[in-house]
Structure 1
Amino acid sequence: MAIEVIPTGAALGAEVRGLDLSKPLTDAEFEAVQQAWYDHIVLLFRGQKIDDDDLVRFSARFGELDIAPASATDMAGGQALSRPEIWIISNVVENGRPIGALGDKEAEWHTDMSYVAEPPMASVLYSLEIPDRGGDTSFANMYKALEELPADLRAAVEGRICNHDASMTSVGELRAGAEAVVDVRTAPGAKHPVIRTHPATGGKSLYLGRRLNAYLEGYSVEESERLLDRLWAHCAKPEFSWTHKWQVGDLLIWDNRCAIHRRDGFDGSQRRVMHRTQIKGRAPR
């Protein structure tokens, strides 16, 4: 069966058909997938029946994998259920302990692990169990967000550095071992350019990480807050985004270098179990 790439029709995203990810990709198949990924930023593969080994093998075609990140919850019990490269994202509790991270809350717009010096270039998420409603994942195209940024705002952030706070998770919980931030200018985390260049496509995009506790260096706290509020309001415009409604067996891969994403909350009485890998990246430039 020939590979088909079907764009969503939104600002980003495409479905790839004709591949069984339980089998290794040929070099030609991988080249087609990689080019589609560069073109569309987020790729969807539906109806996959894969195990953790398959997930790791597919992800590793794109590069070396990270180990699972620290979360707000003691994950010793849950993480033992998977390989160290796989992060379990779930609201399920077994024997009094969560088997995964992030629970059932809404996750704000963010870039995965931008608070480290060399953030992952990509994330891969595979759905094992999903609730009847909610838990949808939305993505926004940061190439387009930069292209349509008001001129005065672009001038204000061109060449600027943003500190990406490491203390909080995307669902607003204090990360394990972290202390609450009292001054955004001294928040723990990594410093990255607000506008970065994609190392493979050469395209320029906004790179913001997440809103909470962020700080634009060289500005007063008040001015940084004002500019960041404007940036995030701009990036959240519907014309830059696409929302994915999950089905069991869906696999998504997205490019953290040029996209942000968020998750809707859902009914915590329903099970949601996802397995995620992250592909290592380089320091943004």
Structure 2
Amino acid sequence: MTTSLTESVAALQITPLKSEFGAHIHNIDLKNADDATLATVVEAFRLHGAILLRNQSMEPDDLMRFISAFGEPELHTQKNYCLPGYPHIFKLSNMLDENGKPLGAHNDGVGWHTDYSYKKEPVMCTMLYAVTVPDEGGETLLADQVAAYEDLPEAKKAQLDPLKIHHSYVHFIENREFNSYQISDEIRDANPDVIHPMIRVHPADGRKALWISTGTVKHIIGMEDDQAMKLVDELVEYVTQPKYVYSHKWQQGDVLMWDNRCTLHTGSLYDDKKYNRMAHRLWVKGEAPISVGD
């Protein structure tokens, strides 16, 4: 980061989302921000792992301009809930159209995970833009995996550093609690199983994160299945302790982004018979995860 950009980030009005994690960036209108301002927001994101900007009014083209400042936008595995004309914008909603058909994916993202963990190159970051929010419930929770890793005893780090996790999209779909559906041969062929490190090294500065997940995790290489899943459950319980978790209560116009290389996240349920929700999700392409020692 250049000196001028460092100074620009320092000049931002920022309050932390939670102790030493995340940044709530105040008084920036993303729709009308110039390129230099967007570059400063990108750098703030890279420093803090997650950012929040409230009171935004974003049209689809504004969302695409903003997400493109972070890198190349990523497409979605499921295409049927993308915004017409905008294949990079995915709708999350319980709302129905005039014919009673869903407008978006409902309860998508419930369960601790990192996006696209079943891909060879998982997405770098996720952005959600709140269009309609429930009055209660429906929070998004972010877990700081760098802090969780740093707090481990050295012996535990040595045990976990070399472990590799078998991730599977097919396993995820066949065992998910919400929105089960048949997988087409095309989607199955486009999403073969992958192996990723349990401890992921951030390419920007080398910090290590405990990159555990749920849903897509099928196996840990070199371990019996019951032993592997017991370890996964223990680690997920550990990394999602309240001291590592930021719970975001949504307001209309919120833009929340997080770095999938060093966080886990989950949605939470709400009364979907009483309240409506609509959010737009966008992703940025990432790289193959880096293992400890690579």
TM-score by length of 1: 0.87
1:60 aligned onto 2:36 = no
- Counterpart of 2:74 in 1: which secondary structure? coil
1:33-112, aligned counterparts within 5 Å? 33-70=41-78, 76=80, 78-81=81-84, 83-94=86-97, 95-101=99-105, 103-104=106-107, 107-112=110-115
1:171–1:250: structure 2 CA closer, same or farther, 3 Å change rule?
A: farther
After superposition, the C-alpha distances for 1:107-142 in whole angstroms (9 at most, x for unaligned) are 111101111100100011100001111100110101
1:146 aligned onto 2:149 = yes
After superposition, the C-alpha distances for 1:8-38 in whole angstroms (9 at most, x for unaligned) are 24352221112111124322x2342223212
Match of 1:14 among 1, 13, 23: 23
Q: C-alpha separation between the residues in 2 aligned to 1:211 and 1:105?
A: 12
- Counterpart of 2:111 in 1: which secondary structure? strand
1:117 aligned onto 2:120 = yes
CA contact (8 A) 1:46 1:250 kept: yes
Unaligned runs of 5+ in 1: 180-186
Deviation at 1:151, TM superposition (A): 4.1
After superposing the two structures, state which structure 1 stretch, 137-146 or 3-12, moved more.
3-12
Cross-structure match for 1:182:
none
Cross-structure match for 1:251:
255
- Counterpart of 1:84 in 2: which secondary structure? strand
After superposing the two structures, state which structure 1 stretch, 135-144 or 208-217, moved more.
208-217
Match of 1:162 among 160, 165, 176: 165
Match of 1:277 among 265, 271, 282: 282
CA contact (8 A) 1:166 1:188 kept: yes
1:153–1:82: structure 2 CA closer, same or farther, 3 Å change rule?
A: farther
CA contact (8 A) 1:88 1:273 kept: yes
Q: C-alpha separation between the residues in 2 aligned to 1:152 and 1:209?
A: 21
CA contact (8 A) 2:123 2:260 kept: yes
Match of 2:271 among 264, 267, 277: 267
After superposing the two structures, state which structure 1 stretch, 122-131 or 144-153, moved more.
144-153
1:232 aligned onto 2:232 = no
**Counterpart residue type for residue 146 of structure 2:** Y
Aligned CA RMSD, in angstroms, stands at: 2.2
1:195 aligned onto 2:190 = no
Deviation at 1:205, TM superposition (A): 0.8
Cross-structure match for 2:183:
177
Deviation at 1:165, TM superposition (A): 2.4
Q: C-alpha separation between the residues in 1 aligned to 2:123 and 2:203?
A: 13
Unaligned runs of 5+ in 2: 1-10, 186-190
Cross-structure match for 1:210:
214
1:252–1:171: structure 2 CA closer, same or farther, 3 Å change rule?
A: farther
TM-score by length of 2: 0.85
CA contact (8 A) 2:83 2:89 kept: no
Q: C-alpha separation between the residues in 1 aligned to 2:204 and 2:58?
A: 28
- Counterpart of 1:276 in 2: which secondary structure? strand
- Counterpart of 1:278 in 2: which secondary structure? strand
After superposition, the C-alpha distances for 1:25-70 in whole angstroms (9 at most, x for unaligned) are 322x234222321222110000000101100100001100111222
Cross-structure match for 2:188:
none
1:150–1:174: structure 2 CA closer, same or farther, 3 Å change rule?
A: farther
Q: C-alpha separation between the residues in 2 aligned to 1:193 and 1:150?
A: 19
Q: C-alpha separation between the residues in 2 aligned to 1:273 and 1:82?
A: 18
1:226–1:111: structure 2 CA closer, same or farther, 3 Å change rule?
A: same
- Counterpart of 1:113 in 2: which secondary structure? coil
CA contact (8 A) 1:93 1:99 kept: yes
